[in-house]
C-alpha cells in the first residue's frame, strides 16, 4: 500500500512539472513583450505629461484647456465603450493622448494664444479633440458591413489568432468561393466587394463579401435557394482549391440552417414540421435538412469543377491584393459557367 502511495505521489509530481514546463514553453512571449512595451511607452508619456502639467495664465488658453478636458473625456470613455467591447487599447491610447494634450496646452497655450480670438480657440478645441478621438479609435476595428441578420460579418471567415500562410490560403479560397456565386445574377450588384485580409484585427473576421443589397421582408423561393448556395460556397471553395475544409464557417452554417428551416417550412420539399414535438418529427426534419444540404453541396461541387480555373485565378489575385471590387471582380464573374439547375435570381428580386 505504501509503495502504491509513493507511486501516486511521484506520478503527480511528474505531471505537475510536465504541465509547468509546457506552460512556460508555450507562453506567447512575443505578444507579452509587445503589450508590455506598449504599456510602458504610454505610461512614460503619461508620467512626463503629468510631471510637466500646469494651468496656463491666458484666459483663452484656460478656456481651451477646460473644453478639451470635457470633450476629451467623452472621446476616451463614452465613444470607445459604445463602439467596441475591446476597450483596453482604446482607453490606453486615448488616456495617453488626453493627458499629453492637456499638459501641452498648459505649457504652450499662452504662447499660441497671444490675443483673445474665439474663432481660433474653437478651431483649436476641435483639432485637439479630433487628435484624442483618433488615438482612442486606434484600438477599434469596425465590424465588417452587415447584410440581413448575418452577425458581425458578411459571408466570411472568423478569426481569433494570428494569420499564417495556411490561413491566407483558406481565407482567399473561402471568400472567392462566396463571391463566385454572384455570377448567377443577371446583373451584378454594383457595390459587390470581396475581402481576404492579410492580418488579424478586432473585427472578428479575416474576410468577407459585401453586396450592399437591402433585404426584403418576404424571401422569394429562387432567391432563398441561391442564398443557401452562397452560404455553403465558402467551404465548397476551400474543398475545390485545397482539397480540405477549415473550421471557419460555423456562422455560415448557422445562417444556412435558419434559411433552410424557413425554406422547408413552406413545404417546398414535402412535409416538414415547423415545431417538431416528437422524436419521429425531429428525425424527419433532420433527414430533410441533411438531404437538402447534400443536394446543394453536390451542386456546388459541380459548379467549382466547371469553374476551377476561374476560382484558382481569383484566389491567387485575392492573396496578392487582399480585395477585389468593380470591374476587377466582375471580369472573373463573367468567365463563370453555371450548371443547368443552378438558381438564377432576377434583377427585380434584388432591387429596393
Cell 494634450 found at: 101
Say if residue 142's pLDDT is above 50.
no
Residue 104 half-sphere exposure, CB side, CA atoms within 13 Å? 15
Residue 334 has pLDDT above 60, yes or no: yes
| Residue found under cell 488658453 | 61
What pTM was computed for the model? Answer: 0.55
Distance of alpha carbon 198 from alpha carbon 213, whole angstroms:
26
Q: How far apart (Å, rounded) are the C-alpha atoms in residues 274 and 285?
A: 9
At 4, the pLDDT band (50, 70, 90 cuts) reads very low
pLDDT for 124 equals 72
* Residue whose C-alpha is closest to residue 295's, from 197, 229, 215: 229
Q: Which 3 state secondary structure label does DSSP give 92?
A: helix
Which range is least confidently modeled, 155-159, 170-174, 257-261?
155-159
Q: Which of 113, 147, 149 is CA-nearest to residue 128?
A: 113
- End-to-end Cα spacing for the chain: 80
pLDDT digits (tens, 9 = 90+) for 204-254: 677 888 877 766 666 788 888 899 999 999 988 888 888 887 777 778 888
Q: Does residue 312 have a pLDDT over 80?
A: yes
Q: Is a pLDDT exceeding 80 seen at residue 302?
A: yes
Domains, the chain, with CATH or none: 24-139 (no CATH), 157-350 (1.20.58.760)
pLDDT at 84: 47
Separation between Cα atoms, residue 306 and residue 288, nearest integer Å: 27
- Tell me the sheet residues that pair with 131: none
What per-residue string of b and e applies to 311-333 under the rule 16 or more CB within 10 Å gives b? beebbebbbeebbbeeeebbebb
- Which of 119-128, 257-266, 294-303 bottoms out in mean pLDDT, i.e. has the lowest? 119-128
Confidence of residue 91 (pLDDT cuts 50, 70, 90): confident
- Residue 147: is its pLDDT beyond 50? no
Amino acid at each position: 500500500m505504501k509503495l502504491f502511495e509513493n507511486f501516486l505521489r511521484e506520478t503527480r509530481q511528474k505531471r505537475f512539472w510536465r504541465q509547468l514546463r509546457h506552460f512556460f514553453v508555450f507562453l506567447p512571449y512575443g505578444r507579452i513583450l509587445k503589450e508590455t512595451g506598449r504599456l510602458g511607452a504610454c505610461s512614460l508619456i503619461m508620467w512626463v505629461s503629468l510631471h510637466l502639467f500646469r494651468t496656463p495664465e491666458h484666459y483663452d488658453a484656460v478656456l481651451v484647456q477646460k473644453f478639451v478636458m470635457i470633450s476629451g473625456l467623452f472621446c476616451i470613455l463614452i465613444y470607445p465603450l459604445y463602439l467596441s467591447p475591446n476597450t483596453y487599447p482604446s482607453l490606453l491610447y486615448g488616456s495617453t493622448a488626453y493627458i499629453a494634450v492637456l499638459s501641452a496646452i498648459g505649457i504652450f497655450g499662452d504662447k499660441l494664444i497671444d490675443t483673445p480670438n474665439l474663432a481660433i480657440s474653437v478651431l483649436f478645441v476641435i483639432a485637439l479633440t479630433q487628435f484624442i478621438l483618433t488615438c482612442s479609435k486606434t484600438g477599434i476595428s469596425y465590424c465588417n458591413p452587415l447584410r440581413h441578420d448575418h452577425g458581425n460579418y458578411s459571408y466570411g471567415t472568423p478569426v481569433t489568432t494570428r494569420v499564417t500562410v495556411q490561413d491566407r490560403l483558406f481565407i482567399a479560397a473561402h471568400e472567392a468561393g462566396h463571391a463566385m456565386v454572384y455570377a448567377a445574377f443577371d446583373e451584378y450588384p454594383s457595390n459587390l466587394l470581396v475581402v481576404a485580409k492579410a492580418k488579424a484585427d478586432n473585427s472578428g473576421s479575416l474576410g468577407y463579401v459585401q453586396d450592399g443589397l437591402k433585404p426584403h421582408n418576404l424571401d422569394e423561393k429562387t432567391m432563398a435557394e441561391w442564398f443557401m448556395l452562397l452560404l455553403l460556397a465558402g467551404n465548397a471553395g476551400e474543398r475545390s482549391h485545397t482539397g480540405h475544409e477549415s473550421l471557419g464557417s460555423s456562422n455560415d452554417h448557422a445562417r444556412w440552417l435558419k434559411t433552410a428551416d424557413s425554406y422547408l417550412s413552406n413545404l417546398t420539399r414535402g412535409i416538414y414540421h415547423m415545431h417538431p414535438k416528437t422524436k419521429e418529427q425531429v428525425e424527419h426534419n433532420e433527414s430533410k435538412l441533411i438531404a437538402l444540404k447534400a443536394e446543394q453541396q453536390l451542386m456546388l461541387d459541380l459548379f467549382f469543377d466547371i469553374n476551377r480555373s476561374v476560382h484558382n485565378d481569383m484566389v491567387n489575385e485575392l492573396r496578392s491584393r487582399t480585395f477585389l471590387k468593380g470591374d476587377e471582380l466582375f471580369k472573373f464573374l463573367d468567365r463563370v459557367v453555371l450548371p443547368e439547375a443552378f438558381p438564377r435570381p432576377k434583377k427585380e428580386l434584388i432591387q429596393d
